[in-house]
Structure 1
Amino acid sequence: MIQYRVSYENPLTFYLQVEMTLAVPAEGPAPLALQLPAWRPGRYELQNFAQKIQKVEISDAATGQVLPYRKTTKDRWEVAEAAGKDLKIKYNFYAHQMDAGGSWLDENQLYLNPVQCLMYAEGREQEECELALALPEGWQVACGLPHGAPNVLQAQNFDQLADAPLIASPTLMHQQYEAGGLPFHVWVQGAAPLHWPRVLADFKAFSEEQLQLFGGFPVADYHFLNQLLPYKHYHGVEHHNSTVITLGPAELIMTEALYKEFLGVSCHELFHTWNIKSIRPAEMQPYDYARENYFRTCFIAEGITTYYGEYLLARSHVRTPAQYFEELGTVLHKHFTDAGPDNLSLADASVDLWLDGYKPGVPDRKVSVYHKGALAALLLDLTLRQLSGHARSLDDVMRRLYSEFGQTGIGYTEADYIRLVEEVAGRKMGAYFDKFIYGLEPLAPPLDKVLHTVGCQLLVAENGSASEGRFGFRTVVTRNERTEVSGIWPGSPAAAALTVDDEVVAVNGRRVDLNLQTLLSTGGPSYEISVFRQHRLVTVTLTATKGTSYGPRYSVAKLSEADAAQREGFAKWLGWEF
């Protein structure tokens, strides 16, 4: 067994002390290689956790003799004289990252994502592991791993240990509910005025809906680990039988705006227990923590999960259809007000997550696997329902993925997914994949068409912003109240006159002071725009022309009149009467 111990001396420094102990056989590999993960599942980019490591010391545990080692990469260490010894590896880890993928230490809690801070011995990832926590008296531990003794957690292998975040605190709140005969735990760290009866009823409803969809659960229990923070925040990360959700401000948790986010991210992360933790791409069977794990199917892992995360809240009657359509409108807005989908396919965007998927990047380069992926999933679901008269749907594809791959531990490929979709559809689906997964075909026309089959439509409203709708540029007001150009639609009137980072100071000689839209809405055919560009004052002419600008606002709504088939389709899709 490989043993780990985490302790701390002064929480004000944010440094944890980590010890790793393992016995190396006399005939063991020479040298012994120790690897710190370079990334974490759930965020597909290299994160270089080793930059948080301080003062690595390796010794013979029996004699205390310090052993020499050699660092060979940014996060890999080799010990030449390890054979036949019990090794003790010690180092400090800086735990000062409060988000759903981070670790945090202060006087009131220890929050740990082991994947960030625990090394593993190459070739011994399948050995049992034990993690002991040195904690003050009276602290509770919230974690999906079983306890071997107080404050000692047991894992079957490194992968299970790395995928088991924990919160230890004297102020943890805990509630429990049952769904499908299984226990679900809700842990909360933070001062939040939760209305527990409502929270537990809503969580139970969407949990049962997911269990019914898949017909089983990959794990024996589940833990929602919530960090409810005193400031605005939103993040969630999925794990083997748990999730960490960081959300705030905590005092507003039961308000409509924040509670819907709480429900949405919780439902989304629970769905990941099947879709990515159990139903895993072939490229990630097993995870390789030392380098990128490129895969082209994140539009399944994240896109389909994003679709179901909100959709199932409506289907389980936690949210109304109108509330669901409001969330769909947000996804539509994020997708259609970005020119990136004209330039990169969903499949290629999946690969490019490892390149720049989690930051804005250069303008108009990429597409979101979350937003376009969710809309492509909606299109596929309604198409499958239309083809089968609602006898089959995307639910059937997900069930097949779970039975053939999730329950067997076999990784699926792109070809496997296409095969299952076509078997559920009862026909070839090449056009769907060629246009919307591997191609750049616009989604709006086909979405409107399939929405009509369930008594709904895609509404188009004029862009109310003069700068966006008429001229094709966006602005942001900085902290010092400067109005700066933050985005320009390709081929728009603004593209011929402005550039990103221009500071707009005047329109037709009138100073811009939080009044840009008013100044651009006088109806004139052209405007003289004064900007500071690279600290030089430049005046350009902005002419309104018929052409490409930031598009209209899309939303989903019920048809004012729907026939019997459309009404029936609506009820079968959403589980609500029309």
Structure 2
Amino acid sequence: MIHYSIEADNSQNHFLKIEMEIAKIDKDILEIQLPAWRPGRYELQHFARNIQKFEIFDEKGKPVIFKKILKDRWTVETRGLDKIKLFLTYYANVQNAGSSYVDEKTLYVNFVNCLPYAEGRMDEPCLVNLKIPGNFQIACGLEQIKEKQLFAKDYYELVDSPLLASPLLVHEKYQVGEVNFFIWFLGDYAVNWEKVKSDFLKFTEVQIAMMGDFPEKDYHFINWILPTPYYHGVEHKNSTMIVLGPDSEGEGLYSDLLGVSSHELFHTWNICKIRPVEMLPYNFTRENYFPTGFVAEGVTTYYGDLFLKRSGVFSLEDYIKELGTILKRHFEQDGRAFQSLIESSFDLWLDGYAPAIPDRRVSIYQKGAVVALILDLTIRFKTNHEKSLDDVMQMMWERFGKKTKGYSLQDYQIISEEVYGESLDYYFDNCIAGNKPLEEELNSLLKKTGLWININEEGKISLEVTDPENENLKKWLN
């Protein structure tokens, strides 16, 4: 078992003091690695740049010789040693859903930022001791086996379980079947618990009903509400870390909370379990290139708002507004971009989260959602709504997610065609592997649902409802 301890060494200056104990060493040279990126954001983030001090000692307190061989990797001379202790101080001063932050009233840690691993020992259980005041509550997906002590079955679970601790945390829970769902809030935000629990229960039930079961025994929505504008959520094994603001926004903030929460919950299946073969397991030392980002993020973006409509949390007007925003962002911003979805999925690791040069890259979130909508309606109209994208995702869950088996782009096409009943080469060639403009293709489908994309002379678009009582619309959205 690998032991860690974390405390605020100097909370006013935002430093964490971290200890790592490695026992039962049977090698002359041990390699220590800090991750270079984190799941959910497919770019190198070089967390080692936040390490201020790095030291290693034997069990008698004598310094151990080590050498830094890469930006985030060290070799340690362990000949004759059974145990070593590693000490580092980490600068934690970023308030977003994927970083770490500490002050007098807050301990927020994404373990993937600051906890190294020993090469060859990632499958061992991990124990984390938190040296925090007794009045701090802990929001985290890991099992708390003792007070302020967390347990992970291996390093992969450890770094997929962010922690938020504070005496100011508030929470409630609800239950679907035997699964407990916890909703945590930190910040100056007056929570309407009756409405929050009711709405969250509704969209959770709809998601589980569609997918057939839930992958985890519990789940944590960890929400940090800031006084400044922010919108960020990150999916994890049995939790999501969400950072929103400003806390004064009212209904707009709550609408954002619903949208990002539904999106991140669906990630529990789609990417946390239904994972591309290129990412099973994660390699934390370098880029994990994959061509199916449009499945991981685009399909999830499409379903996030759709689940809110199906569950009755969103009205038709609410849903059309959100879908219209997705369409507007794609068609007005990158509808004529050169890259395909496959190319842009691959290039996430190059510039996927930074402003791109004109007409180069498409968004795997926005265009990914558009092509998910096209596939869903294409299947529905051919089968008179007896089959849909729901069936595709259910089969992806049964054949890959449940079996911890990575899927390929070809696997996704094979399952889509199995549900559709014939070849979908046209769809995959044009919508996924090509960069053909999609306005005409989408409008021909939406017209059958009583919706229409209107494009003005300046190229600005709006989504209009031409027939709110359309039967296809009802079967699709209900």
| Structure 1 length-normalised TM | 0.81
Q: CA deviation at 1:337?
A: 1.6
Partner of 1:39: 37
Partner of 2:467: 559
Correspondence 1:409 to 2:404: yes
Q: CA deviation at 1:362?
A: 1.9
Structure 1 distance, partners of 2:271, 2:79, is 37
Q: CA deviation at 1:456?
A: 2.1
Correspondence 1:569 to 2:467: no
Q: CA deviation at 1:573?
A: 0.7
Which amino acid in structure 2 is aligned with residue 331 of structure 1?
A: I
| Alpha carbons of structure 1 residues 418 and 224: separation in structure 2 relative to 1, 3 Å | same
1:314-360, Cα deviation, whole Å (9 max, x unpaired) = 11110011111111111111111224643000011000000000011
Q: CA deviation at 1:558?
A: 3.4
Which amino acid in structure 2 is aligned with residue 54 of structure 1?
A: Q
Correspondence 1:446 to 2:441: yes
Partner of 1:486: none
Correspondence 1:305 to 2:300: yes
Correspondence 1:333 to 2:335: no
Q: CA deviation at 1:451?
A: 1.2
Correspondence 1:18 to 2:13: no
Which amino acid in structure 1 is aligned with residue 5 of structure 2?
A: R
Partner of 2:191: 194
Structure 2 distance, partners of 1:316, 1:104, is 35
Q: CA deviation at 1:250?
A: 1.5
Structure 2 distance, partners of 1:339, 1:553, is 13
Structure 1 distance, partners of 2:16, 2:79, is 25
| Conserved 8 A contact 1:143-1:164 | yes
Q: CA deviation at 1:386?
A: 0.5
What secondary structure sits across from 2:9 in the alignment? Answer: coil
Structure 2 distance, partners of 1:122, 1:274, is 28
Q: What does 1:369-408 correspond to in 2, within 5 Å?
A: 369-408=364-403
Structure 2 distance, partners of 1:148, 1:263, is 31
Structure 1 distance, partners of 2:432, 2:463, is 22
| Conserved 8 A contact 2:334-2:363 | no
Q: CA deviation at 1:9?
A: 2.9
1:387-424, Cα deviation, whole Å (9 max, x unpaired) = 10000000000000000111000001111100000000
Which amino acid in structure 2 is aligned with residue 421 of structure 1?
A: S
What secondary structure sits across from 1:205 in the alignment? Answer: helix
Correspondence 1:458 to 2:460: no
| Conserved 8 A contact 2:335-2:437 | no
What secondary structure sits across from 2:449 in the alignment? Answer: coil
1:147-187, Cα deviation, whole Å (9 max, x unpaired) = 11100000000000001101111110011011233110001
Q: CA deviation at 1:82?
A: 4.8
Q: Say which one has the larger Rg.
A: 1
* Identity in percent: 46
Q: CA deviation at 1:231?
A: 1.2
Structure 1 distance, partners of 2:9, 2:120, is 32
Q: What does 1:167-566 correspond to in 2, within 5 Å?
A: 167-252=164-249, 255-339=250-334, 341-462=336-457, 469=458, 551-559=459-467
| Conserved 8 A contact 2:170-2:186 | yes
Alignment coverage as a number of residue pairs? 478
Partner of 1:52: 50
What secondary structure sits across from 1:51 in the alignment? Answer: helix
| Conserved 8 A contact 2:58-2:81 | no
What secondary structure sits across from 2:248 in the alignment? Answer: helix
1:279-313, Cα deviation, whole Å (9 max, x unpaired) = 01101110000111000000000000000011111
Which amino acid in structure 2 is aligned with residue 18 of structure 1?
A: I
| Structure 2 length-normalised TM | 0.98
| Conserved 8 A contact 2:453-2:461 | no
When the two chains are superposed, the root-mean-square deviation of aligned CA atoms in Å is 1.2
Structure 2 distance, partners of 1:349, 1:556, is 29
Correspondence 1:90 to 2:79: no
Correspondence 1:102 to 2:137: no
Structure 2 distance, partners of 1:554, 1:251, is 29
Flag structure 1 segments of 5+ consecutive residues without an equivalent.
463-468, 470-550
1:364-392, Cα deviation, whole Å (9 max, x unpaired) = 21100000000000010011100100000
Partner of 1:547: none
| Conserved 8 A contact 2:27-2:78 | no
Structure 2 distance, partners of 1:434, 1:354, is 23
Q: CA deviation at 1:429?
A: 0.2
Flag structure 2 segments of 5+ consecutive residues without an equivalent.
none
| Conserved 8 A contact 2:124-2:155 | yes
Partner of 1:137: 134
Higher RCO (CA < 8 A, seq sep 6+): 2
Q: CA deviation at 1:453?
A: 2.3
What secondary structure sits across from 2:175 in the alignment? Answer: strand
1:7-43, Cα deviation, whole Å (9 max, x unpaired) = 1232101000000001143xx3331000000000000
What secondary structure sits across from 1:55 in the alignment? Answer: strand
